[in-house]
Structure 1
Amino acid sequence: MASCALAYAVCCPLPATVLAFLDTTAYAGDPQCMKTISLWTASHHAGVYLRVAVFVLSALSLSGCGLLVGAAFGGGRPSCPEPGQWSVPEAGGTRLEAADTLLSRLAKEQVALLGETHDDPEHHRWQLHTIAGLYALRPQMVLGFEMFPRRVQGVLDDWIAGRLGDAEFLSRVEWRQVWGYDPELYLPLFQFARMHRIPMLALNVERRLVSRVGEVGWAAIPVADREGVTDPEPASREYATWLYQSYLDHQPPGGRQSVERRQPAEQELADARFRRFVEAMQVWDRAMAQGIADRLRGGQAPLVVAIMGSGHLQYGHGVPRQLRDLGVTSVAVALPWDQSESCAGLVPGLADAVFGIEARPRPRPAERPRLGISIDAAPDGVRVVSAVPASLAEQAGILAGDVIVRIAGEPAARPGDVIEAVLRQAPGTWLPITVQRGDATLDLVARFPPRQ
């Protein structure tokens, strides 16, 4: 009876403070409940979102009381999930699925892939709740992240072992240089993993490898420079067509072919530059799929929950396709579905499940200083790969092929030195940059405009 009362309290719109009055002795005979309450208590004291408790308790407690999440919504099939609902895209609409049933199904897979829009706080809260629910069902878990290149795996291990503080961890994984999004969006996920000693897995490769593939194609990359990535499964025509709009979005200002979503013509899909773009995306997908597949080999395989952008997961393309090629077939994809999105996009094959996300206003991110160059490491500094037309870099006289040797009066030994210097630059100030151009050394100045 105590379990049913607890489940009912979780289902009903009661204040969160109700949870503070739980008498844990009433659940002493129920190990699963005690595990859940312990999980909530630890998470609460660590500052992790309180709603984790609601999600986990819902997943574990409701089926025993006959109170299934979604039961109150009747037997119809809405075209779009309401906030807080799990649903499965099917022909003719979507089918609501109870949270406990859905999570139990995900927990039985080898791999659960959770999508996101990188800068959406609600997506990351949903990821945290989902991970907590899956962990309560299957604690033998590994968390994989798109955000980390493989070379920082040792830093992730030190973090999980409790040997690093937040600031040192972010510094050593070069978060600002490699990923760049607000770390506060991701820290609750990292802290949850650390609290429960869940191994974290770095899934990505260096961005320069992906960029290089986009420039010269995969076949031109020497095997020694491929970071162990094997040949990707070729992209289907559907995936290439789906990637075409992303390709247009990545064109530099003034070079965009179109801003409207449309079906590309055959000659556009066959364009050599576009094909290299597709290959670059496939290398990204393959690298992450390989990292997951490698972790599943040998012994009792854990549940691998991987966090990555939704574009790598939708419609079974991207990472799911590469996993299938690597022999990993027990895979589920779950995506957040924003209330503001058109329900017409909820079609069969989009994902195994979607979760309705409330449309909440997002804080406007602070404008970050931009110099307008792409860069890469060089033996004697930082090489400028390209300069965006009409950018601050071009106005300062920086050219592709220049090697930045000093910036803001300090040596530029690696790309991170340049990125850090630019990010520190205040509006309305000048940034001195010394470049090597052939045999000549040039002192240039980038003038950052005042804040509007």
Structure 2
Amino acid sequence: MTVKKSIGTWLLCSLLAGCSQQLHGLSSEPLSGSLYDYQLTTADNAPLTLEAFSKEVKDADVILVGEWHTHSGVHLFQAQLLAMLNSAYPNVALSMEQFTRNDQAVLDDYLAGKFGENSLLSNTSKWSNYEGSYRPLVEYAKAHSVPVIASNAPIEIVRCIAKEGKGYLDQLTPEKRSLVAATLSDGDSPYKEKFLAAMFHGDEEKTENQYLAQLAWDDTMAESIVNYLAKHPNNKVMHIAGAFHVENGLGIAARITARNPELKVAIVSPQSEEQPLGKEVKDFRLVVNPLPPQWLSDDEMNAAMKEMRHSYSGKDIACD
């Protein structure tokens, strides 16, 4: 039993902390066909080891890690990076898009060992891919006393903003209103242009409300991070969120800077050979193999986009 436990501990160390020099991200060799494979680089595509990257971000207060949800290589990188940062710096916190502010008390109790994982998953807004994608991060945090920030806004409130607009926030009780950022930065910006280009479908009011819903996520995550660092000024925060939320200093990064220009933010964005980041993007790059194509015809794509817009609109949501 002791031998098996020792082997298991060694494997966990290898996977999370990068103990073996054969691990992903520690070589400049081309990627293999594995979805677990990755290579971390500078914005100019110079390869970086995890250790080298941790030194690159020594002055950063916030490290934003963009992800392609469900991508095995991205999630492996996140787990290894958290372990590397925690070993290199004394005060690291993990912030997650995948938990919302009203989950914080339950999450804290789980990390403190007050109950088992079933209670965590039954009483929070955990994502459907939690076990395969985010469990390693939370379990590492639990084992090493790393604080975890449940930083996002509740999905039911966000959907109602998409349905009814910003005025919906005025209807909320003070308790529920506190679950969303105090201000939503809805002025014209490059981020707004990028969002409208991706989502516009002819109904201007509906698209504007969908953008407000997007901001409810971005501003709430940014505010949660800034508030945490105001209380813990000597900490670093590693935050994980979808790539759109962080890429090229837009979204969350811009909202952090607006709230506290003194904070230094580093960004890692995923890319593949099929989806390279443009030269104008100055983020660190996480090069991974592409996910399987989500659709092979225009009909498939249009059906998927219609479903996504329907979900965004909150058409079937009761906003009382």
Distance 2:265 2:211 in 1: 23
Change (3 A) 1:342 1:302: same
Give the 3-state SS of the residue equivalent to 2:41 in structure 1.
Answer: strand
Calculate percent identity across the aligned residue pairs: 20
Which AA in structure 2 matches 1:229? A
Classify the secondary structure of the residue corresponding to 1:119. coil
Q: Distance in 2 between matches of 1:150 and 1:360?
A: 30
Q: The residue matched to 1:89 in structure 2 has which SS? A: coil
Residue pair 2:271, 2:286 contacting (<8 A) in 1 also: yes
Q: Does 1 or 2 have the higher relative contact order (CA < 8 Å, sep 6+)?
A: 2
Within-5 A mapping of 1:190-269: 190-222=138-170, 224=174, 225-227=176-178, 229-247=181-199, 257=201
Query: Per residue, is there more strand in 1 or in 2?
Result: 1
The residue that corresponds to 2:39 in the other structure is: 85
User: Matches of residues 90-239 of structure 1 in structure 2 within 5 Å?
Assistant: 90=44, 94-175=45-126, 179-222=127-170, 224=174, 225-227=176-178, 229-239=181-191
Distance in 2, Cα, partners of 1:140 & 1:235: 35
Work out whether residues 94 and 239 of structure 2, in 8 Å CA contact, stay in contact via their aligned partners in 1.
Answer: yes
- Asked whether the equivalents of residues 314 and 350 of structure 1 are also in contact (C-alpha less than 8 Å), the reply is no
**Separation of aligned partners in 1, 2:81 and 2:90:** 13
Aligned ranges for residues 34-433 of structure 1 at < 5 Å?
Answer: 44-45=8-9, 48=12, 50-53=14-17, 55=18, 84-90=38-44, 94-175=45-126, 179-222=127-170, 224=174, 225-227=176-178, 229-247=181-199, 257=201, 271-298=204-231, 300-328=233-261, 329-339=263-273, 341-343=274-276, 345-349=277-281, 351=283, 353-358=284-289, 386-387=315-316
Q: Distance in 2 between matches of 1:97 and 1:122?
A: 16
Using the TM superposition, give the Cα deviation of residue 147 of structure 1 relative to its aligned residue in structure 2, in angstroms.
Answer: 0.9
| Maintained 8 Å contact 1:48/1:188 | no
Q: Is the 8 A contact 1:89 1:346 kept in 2?
A: no
| Distance change in 2, residues 1:359/1:242 (3 Å) | closer
Question: 1:214-238, CA deviations, whole angstroms, 9 ceiling, x for partnerless residues?
Answer: 1222245217353252222335442
Contact between 1:116 and 1:335, CA under 8 Å: does it hold in 2? yes
Question: Deviations along 1:11-59, whole A, 9 cap, x unmatched?
Answer: xxxxxxxxx9xxxxxxxxxxxxxxxxxxxx9894397473334x2566x
**Compared CA separation, residues 43 and 131, structure 1 to 2 (3 A):** farther
SS at match of 1:313: helix
Which amino acid in the other structure matches residue 333 of structure 1? I
CA contact (8 A) 2:14 2:20 kept: no
**Post-superposition CA distance 1:84-135 (Å, at most 9, x none):** 4322224xxx333454332212243111111111222221111001111111
Alpha-carbon distance change, 337 to 43 in structure 1, aligned in 2, over 3 angstroms: farther
Q: Which amino acid aligns with 1:143?
A: L
Give the distance between the partners of 1:272 and 1:360, measured in 2 at CA: 33
State the shift of 1:174 in Å.
Answer: 4.3
Contact kept, 8 Å, 2:66 with 2:240, in 1: the verdict is yes
Q: Deviations over 1:375-414 (max 9, x none)?
A: 9xxxxxxxxx645xxxxxxxxxxxx87x9xxxxxxxxxxx
Structure 1: stretches of 5+ with no match in the other structure: 1-19, 21-40, 59-68, 74-82, 249-256, 258-267, 363-371, 376-384, 388-399, 404-452
| Cα contact 2:62–2:266 (8 A) shared by 1 | yes
Following the alignment from structure 1 to structure 2, what is the Cα–Cα distance between the partners of residues 229 and 85? 35
* Cα shift at 1:361: 6.8
Quote the Cα distance in structure 2 between the aligned partners of 1:43 and 1:337: 34
Question: In 2, Cα distance between the equivalents of 1:56 and 1:114?
Answer: 21
3-state SS, counterpart of residue 46 of structure 2: strand
Q: 1:246 to 1:163 in 2, by over 3 A?
A: farther
Q: Specify the code of the residue in structure 1 equivalent to 2:251.
A: G
Taking the aligned partners of 1:221 and 1:158, their CA distance within structure 2 comes to 29
Offset, 1:164: 2.0
Contact 1:215–1:276 under 8 Å retained in 2: yes
CA, structure 1 residues 151+360, in 2 after alignment: closer, same or farther (shift >3 Å)? closer
* Conservation of the 8 A alpha-carbon contact between 2:65 and 2:78: yes
Please identify which structure carries the higher helix content. 2
- Mean alpha-carbon deviation: is it higher for 108-117 or for 166-175? 166-175
2:151 counterpart letter in structure 1: L
Query: Could you tell me how far apart the structure 2 residues matched to 1:158 and 1:52 are?
Result: 24
> C-alpha displacement at 1:335, in angstroms?
2.3
The code of the aligned residue for 1:286 comes to: D
Distance 1:139 1:280, change over 3 A: same
TM-score of the superposed pair, with normalisation by structure 2: 0.77
Distance in 2, Cα, partners of 1:172 & 1:220: 25
Structure 1 residues 248-280: Cα deviation after superposition (integer angstroms, max 9, x where no partner): 5xxxxxxxx4xxxxxxxxxx6x92221221111
Give the alignment's Cα RMSD to 1 decimal.
3.5
Residues in 2 aligned to 1:308 and 1:186: alpha-carbon distance in whole angstroms: 12
| Contact residue 106 and residue 134 of structure 1 kept, 8 A | no
